[in-house]
Structure 1
Amino acid sequence: MCIRARDTVLWIVVPYACLAVFVTGHVWRWRHDQFGWTTHTSQLLESRILRWGSPLFHLGAFGVIVGHAMGLLIPAELTHALGIPEHLYHVVAVWGGAITGVVLVVGLCLLIARRLVNGRVRRVTTRMDKVLYVALTAMVALGMTATIGENLLGGGYDYRETIAVWFRGIFWFNPDASLMAGAPVVYQLHALGGFLFLALWPFTRLVHVWSAPLAYLWRPYVVYRGRGRAVPAPQPRPEEVRDAALAASGSPR
């Protein structure tokens, strides 16, 4: 395969194929596996490590997603028009990505360790859970290598002039594969792994993010009563007893 054909497959065909699997996979999962559309939580089996690992992982993941969205979707021309210096943008992006990445790594390590050291949690871990954790580990490792190794410790790379333009072109149906051909290998692997991760998404427990319980914000509260103890009926006030007795006897008040 020639270089141009290889770049076309990697940076045009593969992204669109992964996006197609991402969309159709969710439709199939919703129609045929609604019972499995859940987090499959194992909190009842172990909560001590989960109490720390889950918030750190979700907080770090949220920060990483927001950082990627800002870096890939916001053109450099817009930040320049807003008067944001390139050096300031670079410092905020690199250090913000490094901090949120470290939080994500700590949370992910705790969740993986929990699956390994706790026997009950390990027994309920499915094969797809293991694939998901391997994919997450690979994605995080590549992202941290690009952020810290390439930008923070290395000479830096202006991905907004190449990778971000290619990424936005995918959604405009006009991707330029040549922009990715000259990018550093770690960025290429991270971008390719990101789309492959999207293709894996519908078949994992990650589908639960589309079912955020927003209705809990406005639905009425639920009262739970114990099964073994009877709830005493409210006692009427003395004036209510008097009025009821007068009404039964027909006597005027």
Structure 2
Amino acid sequence: MNYLDTLLFGLYPYLAGSVFLIGSLLRFDHGQYTWKTGSSQLLSRRRLRLGSNLFHIGVLTIFFGHLVGLLTPHWVYAPFMAAGTKQLVAIVVGGVAGVLCLIGGAILLYRRFFDSRVRASSSVSDNLILSLLLVQVMLGLGTIGSAVHHLDGGVMLRLAEWAQSIVFFKGDAAAHLAGVGWIYRLHILLGLTIVLIFPFTRLVHVWSAPLGYLGRRYQIVRRRA
């Protein structure tokens, strides 16, 4: 079991991360015409705005929440926030964001399977990555049920130590997950798998986040008389 833990939680993260970075670079270099979201708005606008807004608000909150929560060392927030308090904040914020993401993603997935025009233009990778993201969100929400039974923040600290060991190359990362519940392990493995297949899906558009839109001037649109 120790060898399996080392493989899945000590080596697999680096494999996933390497494919993520190198694959994204190669796709940008050799397949820029495929570097897009493949919007289906022109095919059907029904439920798109609601689903897309809920999904993106939820997923962005979850992403940055994980980024800050897992990679911030305990000593940074320890003077003004106990581990248990941080865990409660993570449960509340992550729970709300997860529900929003799940509802929005379900709407988008429904469009892809039951709207004939959208279904005809959807690829296997489009449906697969959206389905995997929804499963990942459900696993994340499932960890809340386990987390409420240990509100001291101990498991959260161990997960953060694992993530920091991976990102900062501290070594022996898998040891931090000894005794951690299976739902956390599944959540981590599926997350790493999504990172692994990232360069081969429409998710690459994340690299091209249109931050310039935040400061652009308004467009003037006139209706035809």
Instruction: Return the TM-score normalized by structure 1.
Output: 0.81
SS of 2:34 mapped into structure 1: coil
Percent identity for Structure 1 against Structure 2:
36
Distance 1:218 1:144, change over 3 A: closer
**Residue type matched to 1:10 in 2?**
L
- Structure 2 portions without partners, runs of 5+: none
Distance 1:75 1:159, change over 3 A: farther
Aligned residues of 2:109 and 2:127 also touching (Cα < 8 A): no
Aligned residues of 1:45 and 1:120 also touching (Cα < 8 A): yes
Deviation string 1:189-224 (CA, Å, 9 cap, x unpaired) is: 111111111011111111111112234455677788
How many residues align? The count is 223
In structure 2, which of residues 128, 132, 138 is the aligned counterpart of residue 131 of structure 1?
A: 128
Q: Which residue is equivalent to 2:139?
A: 142
Cα offset, 1:74, TM superposition: 1.6
Distance 1:56 1:169, change over 3 A: same
Q: Which residue is equivalent to 1:171?
A: 167
Q: Residues of 2 paired with 1:93 and 1:222: CA distance?
A: 39
Instruction: Return the TM-score normalized by structure 2.
Output: 0.90
Deviation string 1:5-31 (CA, Å, 9 cap, x unpaired) is: 212111111110000100111011101
Q: Which residue is equivalent to 1:234?
A: none
Distance 1:93 1:222, change over 3 A: closer
Distance 1:223 1:58, change over 3 A: closer
Aligned residues of 1:75 and 1:160 also touching (Cα < 8 A): no
Q: Which residue is equivalent to 1:239?
A: none
**Residue type matched to 1:58 in 2?**
H
Distance 1:217 1:161, change over 3 A: closer
After superposition, the CA RMSD in angstroms is: 2.2
Q: Which residue is equivalent to 2:11?
A: 13
In structure 1, which of residues 169, 185, 190 is the aligned counterpart of residue 187 of structure 2?
A: 190
In structure 2, which of residues 74, 85, 90 is the aligned counterpart of residue 88 of structure 1?
A: 85
Q: Residues of 2 paired with 1:54 and 1:219: CA distance?
A: 22
Q: Residues of 1 paired with 2:205 and 2:108: CA distance?
A: 17
Q: Residues of 2 paired with 1:12 and 1:39: CA distance?
A: 32
Q: Residues of 2 paired with 1:171 and 1:155: CA distance?
A: 26
Deviation string 1:111-155 (CA, Å, 9 cap, x unpaired) is: 0111122100011110111221221122112111012x1123x44
In structure 2, which of residues 67, 70, 79 is the aligned counterpart of residue 69 of structure 1?
A: 67
In structure 1, which of residues 206, 210, 220 is the aligned counterpart of residue 207 of structure 2?
A: 210
Distance 1:33 1:90, change over 3 A: same
Per mean C-alpha deviation after superposition, the further-off stretch among 18-27 and 71-80 is 71-80
Structure with max Cα Rg? 1
Aligned residues of 1:71 and 1:160 also touching (Cα < 8 A): no
Distance 1:44 1:15, change over 3 A: same
